Amino acid sequence: MRRELANAPVEVVIANHCYGLFELAAVYLSQSPPLLPQARLAIDALASLVGGLNGRLGEADDHLKDALSQLQLAYVQIDGAQRAGEQVAAAAGTNGGPGVATTDQPNPGNTEPGAGAESGA
């Protein structure tokens, strides 16, 4: 196996590792919910290799640049959707949401003695 590896063009071997990072990031992005920190690390690792070896990965160079762009776009879209969902959930919680009643306030419409107003004044 070592002999086969030594005889393979190094750019092909490295490109294969890059494709593995692409798949790893895609797996993390496709989870429910997406595992964004893990996906980001895999995407950053791929970006480091593709960017750092710019033009040195042979025929795979352009394909890997496209693949990286697709992952980055997917990450931004998924992260944006999650943040929007969190903001909606936070707003619903802040506003009390539908059907939430508070019981610690006196009822201003109740005029019975002792119901929110001091009696005997």
Location of structure tokens 């006196």: 106
pLDDT digits (tens, 9 = 90+) for 19-78: 999 999 999 999 999 999 999 999 999 999 999 999 999 999 999 999 999 999 999 999
Tokens encoding 25 = 């990031």
Give the pLDDT of residue 76: 98
Q: Which residues contact 56 (CB under 8 A, 6 or more apart)?
A: 11
CA distances from 5 to 2, 11, 13, 20, 34 (A): 5, 11, 8, 17, 35
Instruction: Kindly report the pTM of this predicted structure.
Output: 0.74
pLDDT digits (tens, 9 = 90+) for 90-109: 998 876 655 454 555 444 44
Tokens encoding 78 = 């998924």
71: number of Cβ within 10 Å? 21
CA distances from 95 to 20, 42, 59, 107 (A): 45, 38, 56, 20
- Residue ranges of the domains in the chain? 2-94
Q: Which residues contact 75 (CB under 8 A, 6 or more apart)?
A: 25, 29, 36, 39, 40, 43
